[in-house]
Structures are given as C-alpha cells and as structure tokens.
Amino acid sequence: MQIAIVLFDRFTALDAVGPYEILSRLPDARTVFVAERTGPVRADTGFLAITADRTLAEVPRPDIVVVPGGPGQQEQMDDEPLLDWLRTADATSTWTTSVCTGSLLLAAAGLLDGRRASSHWLALDRLARFGAEPTGERVVLDDKYVTAAGVSAGIDMALTLVGRIAGDDHAMAVQLATEYDPQPPYDAGSPQKAPADLVEKLRSGSRFTLT
C-alpha cells in the first residue's frame, strides 16, 4: 500500500508527520514524501526540512494521498502542476486525505465539490468558498475523502483510517505502540473550548495564525 505525503514550501510539519507516523504502521505500508522537486522542503517555521524522496511525477498512483496544510498552502492554490497531480492521483486513489488547510488544496483541485469536509478552524469559511460543505468536526469522512481539522488532528484522522483499512485491532495496536493516550495540560484546543479572548486574538491574525 503506497502512501504519498505531499510537501511544499512552508507546510506545517506536524500536519504531515502525524499521519506519517500512524499510517506507516499499516500492513505493507510504503510511505513516500513527494514534492515538485526532490530534496529538502522547508516547513513554515524555517527550522525544519523534510526530504522529498520522489517527485510528484514519479508517484502517479498512490493508494493514499495525504495533503498537509500550513501557511505555504496559499501559494499552491493556483499551482497547476500540483493541482493536476492531485486530480490524477485522486482518480485511482483508495483514499484522498488532508490535514488542516490541505483541504483547501483538495478543494482548489475540484475534489471536494458538494462534499462535507474539515479544515483548520480559521479556514472553514474559505473552504465553503470552494464549494465544499465545511464542518467543525475533527475528522470528516465523505466517501473516500477524509479531511481533518488543524495540525494535530491528522493523528486522529490517520488512526481512523487505519481502523477502516486494517481493522480495529490493528488500529488499537498502533495507538498503543505510539502511546497515543493524550493528556493535554489545558483544554483550549478548539474555538469552542478556548477562552474567547484567545480565539479573537488568533482570528485577528497574530503570529500564532497558521493559515
């Protein structure tokens, strides 16, 4: 089972590495990081680079497509080679997935028309403008399209997908192996739960903003 994770300049690293860590534990998983060019691709902070081992053209028919988000997503919205690749890969994929603002790229490629989908909470409005039906849910499955909320939600998305593909026992074994028993020290992980002034601060575009 080939899993292609797309990289582009200024992606958000955890968007990509969360699903990578979980999906790579599928039976017979062959995960490959792909980009327009091979070589290191720098994340949004500038502090981290992940190697793209293959070009998009070298991986035309992955079983699973994973598209992360991040501030760099905006520059890819009219990147025809990437959008073309997404459409081509999607034509034969078993699952087409995204994390965070990666769903905006799937939508820009025309893959989410009329579909329920998720994205970073700050990007849900924009998702609607591209013809998708945004929900505030953490993981949204609509046919073979699986979209996750912001950044850390890719872990939940991937574990959900492992359950669908390999069964609950395998998914639970992966959860146990990665000791995914989250215990956040605060309960501020969604705009419904966080203090209103923090939600406003992020909405008004502070340096925390990811999208």
Closer to a second copy by CB, 83 or 95: give it: 95
Q: Which of 50, 83, 104, 106 binds a second copy (CB under 8 A)?
A: 50
E strands of 53-137, at which residues? 54-55, 64-67, 95-98, 116-117, 133-134
Helix intervals (H) in 31-110: 80-92, 102-108
54 lies in the binding site for a second copy (CB under 8 A): no
DSSP designation for 134:
E
Residues recognised as catalytic: 100
| Amino acid found at 66 | V
d(CA 205, CA 89): 34
185 lies in the binding site for a second copy (CB under 8 A): yes
Tallying the residues shown for the chain, one arrives at 211
Q: Which of 10, 115, 116, 138 binds a second copy (CB under 8 A)?
A: 138
Residues that bind a second copy (CB under 8 A): 12-14, 17-18, 20-21, 24-25, 30-33, 40, 45, 47-51, 53, 100, 120-121, 138-139, 149-153, 155-156, 159-160, 163, 168-169, 171-186, 188-191, 193-195, 198-199, 201-202, 206, 208-210
